[in-house]
Amino acid sequence: MTPHLTPCSTDCLIVIDMQRDFLPREAGFEGALGVPRGEEILAPIEALAARFEHVVLTADWHPQGHISFASTHERPPFESIEAAYGPQMLWPDHCVQNTSGAEIAVDIPHAELILRKGFRQTIDSYSAFLENDHMTPTGLAGYLRERQLHRLFFVGLAYDFCVGSSAVDGAKMGFECVVIEELTRAVNVPVAGSLSSVDAMRQSLASQHVATRTASL
């Protein structure tokens, strides 16, 4: 049995992209890029956050015509293009700045920071730490170090893209990173041959020794 999660003062919960466009339409949300069963983790994330002194929220914040939008390239969603920084998956338009779909759906009043990402027109950002060029920092690492926060717990959407990418980059930067898998959901699309995005992300997480555990709610 997994021990009950009891955070300490140097822990931080990082809630990734729990926005209305990432939650399913059938659950009453905008759902432009709804992650299946994403609504199921709303209340458990709020309950878990109540245990943490330090909470950071992230949010996609895309301009119209963003490079990641399939409509920008007149291509179908879920195809991949070659951007200047490497392969870029194309998505339905989502989390457009100042729209209801970009609103954060979890209620965590004591969250200390909302980190907006993906706001540059010509570069996407899955990770909370780096843009997709793997060079441009978001500033989160410095924020956490200034506050002496060393162990990071990741929850939210989607496991196989923004959650996992954030944990991988955090580990590369020297943080102890833990993904609470039961409080994530996945898009799960093909990415390379027969490999799914979930399998690819599991390999990436394992390569950086990112731990996974349950919250024991």
Catalytic positions are 17, 117, 162
Identify whether the C-beta of residue 112 lies closer than 8 Å to the C-beta of residue 96.
no
Number of alpha carbons in the 13 Å side-chain half-sphere of residue 201 = 27
- The helix (H) or strand (E) run that includes residue 172 is helix 164-172
For residue 149, give the nearest of 140, 161, 139 by alpha carbon.
140
d(CA 95, CA 118): 10
d(CA 166, CA 129): 6
